[in-house]
């Protein structure tokens, strides 16, 4: 229907009585901009032209303390208890339409069933008649409430029959027009929910914040919340696994309200995290002391093994001419046979090489020159492996550069020389930075050769095995401290960052880049995983710190996503909006809204501090959330009757329909024969 003029040709309006016309007019008037946008005076003039009488003015009530001026008198009890009066008024505005609509719907349902034997028309007529009677009963209940609240003056008893008759007609007409159906009930149920929330805005705030994940968040708050001992999380951090952006946002808002306490909590968390990592790394003084002990022990034990002698090699010589002068063969005086001298040994057979002695001017012109070495059998076998042969060559160069000899004059391998070969094998398996990297198989082959070589050395020199094992044992805690202090060095500046994301980033990166971290920490590139150095307990400490930092970063991210959704400084004010009614012409609504607004303003500060305190402590937040969830369950039970009435409303609407015959039947039953006909009054 485009405008009000259209209803003047509608039989439902033309043939209706005054009460029915008023009901139909009130239904369609808001849809016509000529009426809806008009001022009050113009609207009343239009109503008069449509055959409807103007509303009877009500005298303004005297203004009580703290109560705005409206229509009607505020009763004495309301002036003495303004807060209670405000809530009672709000409850009447919320529940009044529900009582009236509920009575009509239940009456309509009964009437429909009673009229069913008479067929569809009978069912419809019975439904409408029942709706009217039920509406009248509900209207009378709200009228008594208005009298108690001072919204209307007490009415003489003699007026009751006429009042009930008009209310019944109005209810029937509205039933035909569909105004008492499910939408009314739904709106009323929503308003009841708003009033229910206003009575406990904190509980409502918690329910809104958990976003349907109440039990999951409650379980998280009740569980083991500390990851790092001493790093007590906030409620938002403890429940971050649930992924609720609003709950995290409420936690962020709490930290702004209780900023001093929040800063102290953050400082305690950082101290606990730093202390945990320090339990792995110790102090700089402790590291230096451990290194000093290791050096002293190593000097002593390696000093002993350095003096040891291992089977080495025998020198092999050959005769070499020392001049070009024609030699004279020296012969034995007795036999005249040449005098034979040993000029060397065959490297393969170890047999002596004998040659005739010659002289030049009485001086032998042959001299013995080193031709090579014959190595110990086991060592000769080791030297067949290229890695060991190459290590011996490298060790010889190192020894020469240090001004020492790997072998004695008798050809024995010194313990110090044997250790140089081991170091050369270490270098071979871990190329220096910038060198061509070795493949996995090449490294494995070198390490295998080194293992075989060390077994040979340690079997020959037990003191060397003792020195190596002692050095390795003393290096373990030193390496652990080196790694721990390196990670501490990454964590300390990170804790000074403004955001949890940055605090977590540097530490996590150091853990993920384990090979680089270990090389920088220990100076030894052979380690590739933290587990190669740290014990399981130490790994747990490090991983716990990482998890704690990452949880804080996730909470920060969730809060950012839900930013602005949970302003706990205005919780009560937001919940109060669900109670306030929009009808500004009603004195009781104006009064109630003003009082509720004042209550909300006073409650906001108190509630904000209370919620902020709880959100800094998972246990307190768990207690508050548990109460809120229990209250929510009670509220759902409270809302169930409205849902049931809504379902009934839909059925009654479908059966009652909108028949003119039903209304005319009700008019006849109530004895109202005054039917006004003011067609086209608006356009004339």
Between 446 and 86, where is the model more confident? 446
pLDDT at position 677: 31
The answer to whether 316 and 324 have CB atoms below 8 angstroms apart is no
Q: Which of residues 374, 389, 423 is at a domain's end?
A: 374
Residue among 363, 394, 360, 388 nearest 375 (CA) = 388
Among 101-115, 188-202, 492-506, the range of highest mean pLDDT: 492-506
Provide the token pair at 248: 């995290």
Determine, yes or no, domain membership for 352: yes
Provide the token pair at 657: 């329909």
pLDDT at position 411: 84
Residue 204 in this model has a pLDDT that exceeds 90: no
Between 573 and 284, where is the model more confident? 284
pLDDT at position 684: 35
As a whole-number percent, the residues of the chain with pLDDT over 70 amount to 62
Residue 530 in this model has a pLDDT that exceeds 70: yes
Range of the domain at 321: 313-374
Model pLDDT for residues 576-604, shown as the tens digit of each residue? 555 444 443 344 445 445 544 554 555 57
Model pLDDT for residues 313-344, shown as the tens digit of each residue? 877 666 566 655 556 666 776 777 777 777 77
Q: What average pLDDT is seen over the chain?
A: 74
Q: Is the pTM of this model over 0.85?
A: no
Between 120 and 409, where is the model more confident? 409
Q: What is the three-class DSSP state of 343?
A: strand
Calpha distance 39→22 (Å, rounded): 19
Determine, yes or no, domain membership for 354: yes
Between 142 and 511, where is the model more confident? 511
Strands 363-364 and 340-345: unpaired
First to last CA, the chain: 20
Between 143 and 381, where is the model more confident? 381
pLDDT at position 228: 95
Average pLDDT for 98-124: 54
C-alpha distances in Å from residue 261, one per residue of 179, 229, 549, 592: 54, 19, 19, 37
Residue 85 in this model has a pLDDT that exceeds 80: no
539: Cα separation from own chain's centroid: 24
Unique residue bearing structure tokens 């710190």: 545
pLDDT at position 638: 72
Residue 49 in this model has a pLDDT that exceeds 70: yes
Determine, yes or no, domain membership for 334: yes
Unique residue bearing structure tokens 């996995």: 440
Provide the token pair at 435: 């060198």
Residue 277 banded pLDDT, cuts 50, 70, 90: very high
When mean pLDDT is compared across 10-19, 180-189, 549-558, the lowest value belongs to 180-189
As a whole-number percent, the residues of the chain with pLDDT over 90 amount to 28
Strands 352-356 and 413-414: unpaired
When mean pLDDT is compared across 111-120, 512-521, 630-639, the lowest value belongs to 111-120
Quote the longest CA-to-CA distance of the chain: 178
Determine, yes or no, domain membership for 350: yes
Average pLDDT for 573-578: 56
Residue 38 banded pLDDT, cuts 50, 70, 90: confident
Model pLDDT for residues 426-436, shown as the tens digit of each residue? 888 887 766 77
Secondary structure (DSSP) of 442-505:
HHHHHHHHHHHHHHHHHHH-HHHHHHHHHHHHHHHHHHHHHHHHHHHHHHHHHTTSSSHHHHHH
Determine, yes or no, domain membership for 521: no
Residue 225 in this model has a pLDDT that exceeds 50: yes
pLDDT at position 419: 93
Number of domains in the chain: 2
Determine, yes or no, domain membership for 346: yes
Unique residue bearing structure tokens 């022990």: 297
Residue 637 in this model has a pLDDT that exceeds 50: yes
Residue 267 in this model has a pLDDT that exceeds 70: yes
pLDDT at position 675: 30
When mean pLDDT is compared across 78-92, 377-391, 392-406, 471-485, the lowest value belongs to 78-92
Among 131-145, 161-175, 237-251, 315-329, the range of highest mean pLDDT: 237-251
Residue 670 in this model has a pLDDT that exceeds 60: no
Provide the token pair at 608: 């904000």
Report the length, in residues, of the chain.
Answer: 684
Determine, yes or no, domain membership for 331: yes
Residue 642 banded pLDDT, cuts 50, 70, 90: low
Q: Which of residues 329, 344, 374 is at a domain's end?
A: 374
pLDDT at position 1: 46
The answer to whether 4 and 27 have CB atoms below 8 angstroms apart is no
Residue 46 in this model has a pLDDT that exceeds 90: no
Average pLDDT for 404-427: 90
Average pLDDT for 650-665: 49
pLDDT at position 576: 53
Between 577 and 562, where is the model more confident? 562
Calpha distance 626→637 (Å, rounded): 17
CB within 8 Å of 285: residues ≥ 6 apart: none
CB within 8 Å of 568: residues ≥ 6 apart: 205, 250, 253, 254, 257, 607, 608, 611, 612
Residue 535 banded pLDDT, cuts 50, 70, 90: very high
pLDDT at position 30: 77
Residue 682 in this model has a pLDDT that exceeds 50: no
Residue 219 banded pLDDT, cuts 50, 70, 90: very high
Model pLDDT for residues 343-367, shown as the tens digit of each residue? 777 777 778 877 777 766 666 655 5
Calpha distance 21→40 (Å, rounded): 20
Residue 413 in this model has a pLDDT that exceeds 70: yes
Determine, yes or no, domain membership for 215: no
Calpha distance 366→636 (Å, rounded): 118
């Amino acid at each position: 229907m485009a405008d009000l003029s259209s209803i003047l040709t509608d039989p439902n309006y033309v043939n209706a009585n005054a009460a029915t016309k008023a009901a139909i007019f009130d239904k369609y008037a808001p849809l016509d901009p000529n009426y809806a946008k008009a001022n009050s005076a113009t609207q009343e003039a239009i109503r008069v032209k449509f055959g409807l009488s103007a509303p009877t003015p009500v005298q303004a009530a005297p203004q009580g303390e703290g109560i705005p001026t409206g229509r009607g008198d505020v009763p004495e009890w309301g002036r003495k208890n303004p807060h209670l009066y405000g809530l009672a008024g709000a409850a009447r505005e919320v529940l009044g339409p529900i009582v009236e609509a509920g009575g009509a719907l239940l009456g309509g349902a009964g009437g429909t069933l009673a009229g069913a034997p008479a067929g569809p028309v009978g069912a419809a007529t019975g439904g409408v008649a029942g709706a009217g009677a039920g509406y009248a009963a509900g209207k009378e209940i709200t009228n008594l409430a208005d009298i108690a609240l001072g919204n209307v003056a007490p009415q003489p008893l003699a007026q009751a029959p006429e009042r009930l008759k008009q209310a019944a007609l109005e209810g029937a007409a509205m039933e035909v027009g569909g105004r008492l159906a499910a939408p009314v009930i739904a709106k009323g149920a929503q308003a009841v929910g708003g009033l229910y929330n206003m009575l406990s805005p904190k509980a409502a705030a918690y329910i809104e914040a958990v976003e349907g994940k109440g039990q999951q968040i409650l379980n998280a708050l009740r569980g083991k919340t500390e990851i790092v001992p001493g790093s007590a999380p906030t409620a938002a951090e403890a429940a971050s696994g649930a992924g609720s952006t609003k709950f995290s946002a409420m936690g962020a808002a709490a930290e702004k309200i209780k900023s001093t306490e929040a800063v102290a909590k953050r400082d305690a968390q950082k101290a606990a995290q730093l202390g945990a990592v320090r339990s792995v790394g110790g102090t700089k003084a402790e590291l230096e002391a451990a290194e000093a002990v290791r050096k002293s022990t190593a000097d002593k034990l390696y000093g002993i093994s350095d003096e040891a002698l291992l089977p080495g090699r025998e020198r092999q010589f050959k005769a070499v001419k020392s001049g070009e002068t024609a030699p004279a063969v020296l012969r034995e005086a007795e036999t005249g046979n040449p005098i034979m001298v040993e000029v060397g040994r065959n490297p393969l057979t170890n047999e002596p090489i004998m040659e005739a002695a010659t002289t030049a001017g009485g001086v032998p012109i042959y001299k013995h020159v080193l031709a090579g070495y014959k190595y110990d059998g086991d060592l000769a076998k080791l030297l067949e492996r290229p890695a060991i042969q190459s290590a011996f060559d490298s060790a010889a160069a190192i020894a020469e550069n240090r001004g020492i000899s790997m072998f004695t004059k008798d050809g024995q391998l010194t313990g110090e020389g044997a250790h140089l070969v081991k170091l050369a094998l270490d270098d071979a398996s871990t190329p220096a930075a910038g060198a061509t990297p070795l493949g996995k198989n090449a490294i494995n082959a070198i390490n295998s050769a080194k293992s075989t070589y060390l077994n040979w050395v340690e079997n020959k020199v037990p003191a060397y095995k003792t020195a190596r094992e002692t050095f390795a044992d003393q290096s373990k805690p030193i390496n652990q401290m080196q790694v721990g202090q390196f990670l501490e060095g990454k964590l300390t500046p990170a804790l000074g960052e403004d955001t949890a994301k940055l605090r977590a980033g540097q530490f996590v990166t150091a853990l993920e880049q384990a090979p680089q971290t270990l090389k920088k920490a220990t100076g030894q590139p052979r380690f590739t995983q933290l587990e190669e150095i740290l014990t399981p307990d130490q790994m747990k400490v490090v991983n716990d710190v990482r998890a704690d930092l990452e949880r804080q970063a996730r909470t920060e991210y969730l809060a950012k996503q839900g930013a602005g959704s949970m302003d706990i400084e205005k919780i009560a004010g937001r919940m109060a909006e669900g109670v306030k009614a929009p009808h500004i012409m009603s004195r009781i609504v104006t009064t109630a809204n003003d009082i509720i607004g004042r209550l909300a303003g006073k409650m906001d500060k108190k509630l904000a501090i209370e919620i902020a305190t709880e959100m800094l402590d998972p246990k307190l937040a768990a207690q508050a959330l548990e109460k809120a969830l229990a209250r929510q369950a009670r509220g759902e039970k409270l809302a169930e009757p409205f849902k049931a009435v809504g379902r009934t409303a839909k059925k009654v609407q479908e059966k009652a329909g909108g028949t003119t015959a039903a209304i005319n039947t009700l008019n006849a039953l109530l004895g109202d024969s005054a039917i006004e006909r003011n067609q086209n009054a608006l356009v004339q």
